[in-house]
Amino acid sequence: MYAIIKTGGKQYRAEAGSKLRVEKLEANPGDTVEFDALMLGGEKTVIGSPTVPGAKVVAEVVEHGKGKKVVVAKFKAKIHYRRKRGHRQPYTEIVVKEIRA
């Protein structure tokens, strides 16, 4: 069984035991977080509008971190304009414990 969850403006496919890197959550490592299921899949598919009633995905926060560096370079010809800036997006790694349907 799997579920589609939404967090941080993105949707993720979650299965029991799977690790996900989601947008940063305000939770400490070891905390338990719950997400509403937008869709349940498996033998029978259930699509919510917008969520499936009574369906929750329970996950545990493993760690917080930063993603790989993305370099943003700006350049304009003939006027000696060059800018270089880096960005590392923060994330939270979670492990899905169970899917309550």
Domain residues for 91?
2-100
Instruction: Report the distance separating Cα 76 and Cα 84, nearest Å.
Output: 12
pLDDT at residue 99 in the model: 94
**pTM score:** 0.85
Q: How many domains does the structure of the chain reveal?
A: 1
For the stretch 33-66, pLDDT in tens is 999 999 999 989 999 999 999 999 999 999 999 9
